[in-house]
């Protein structure tokens, strides 16, 4: 794993941690409930950090990190700034579950597929130029 991917992993983890702690502390202050909520909201980023340290495919790591953080930020912005009803805030409670169970694997798989397509495209370009490309 190259240095850029290590930095990317820690940036995703750090921003996700700040998002989790910030949301919980702004909403409730520093109470035992907000600490538990911050820990629960941080679990998807801990899972991402652990799984991405075991995977060697850079595209999969990038895909999952962008999808997890992007969707989490989107849900936070939607719930905080554009709530449709008073129960929209429940999405923040259930979102970590969905990030772990569904979004993380989809992100890793999607990133892997995109990376594979890019490598195939580059290989095709090299073949067209008469160069040999070894995976």
CA–chain centroid gap for 115, Å, is: 17
Helix (H, G, I), strand (E, B) or coil at 133: coil
CA distance 79 to 91: 8
For residue 6, pLDDT over 80 is answered with: yes
Name the percent of the chain lying above pLDDT 90. Answer: 64
In a domain, 114, yes or no: yes
**Residue range of the domain that includes 57:** 3-128
Question: Which pLDDT value is given to residue 86?
Answer: 86
CA distance 111 to 57: 9
Residue 130 banded pLDDT, cuts 50, 70, 90: low
Least confident of 29-33, 68-72, 127-131: 127-131
In a domain, 134, yes or no: no
Where is 113: in which H helix or E strand? Answer: helix 104-128
In a domain, 133, yes or no: no
pTM for the structure as a whole: 0.86
Instruction: Provide the domain count of the chain.
Output: 1
In a domain, 115, yes or no: yes
């Amino acid at each position: 794993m190259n240095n850029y991917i290590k930095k990317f992993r820690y940036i995703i983890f750090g921003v996700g941690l700040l998002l989790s702690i910030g949301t919980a502390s702004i909403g409730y202050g520093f109470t035992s409930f907000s600490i538990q909520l911050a820990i629960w909201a941080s679990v998807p980023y801990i899972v991402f950090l652990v799984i991405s340290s075991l995977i060697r495919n850079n595209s999969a790591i990038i895909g999952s990190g962008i999808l997890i953080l992007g969707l989490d930020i989107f849900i936070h912005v939607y719930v905080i700034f554009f709530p449709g009803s008073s129960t929209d805030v429940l999405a923040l409670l259930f979102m970590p579950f969905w990030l772990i169970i569904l979004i993380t694997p989809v992100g890793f798989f999607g990133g892997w597929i995109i990376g594979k397509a890019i490598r195939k495209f580059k290989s095709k370009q090299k073949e067209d130029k008469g160069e040999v490309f070894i995976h």
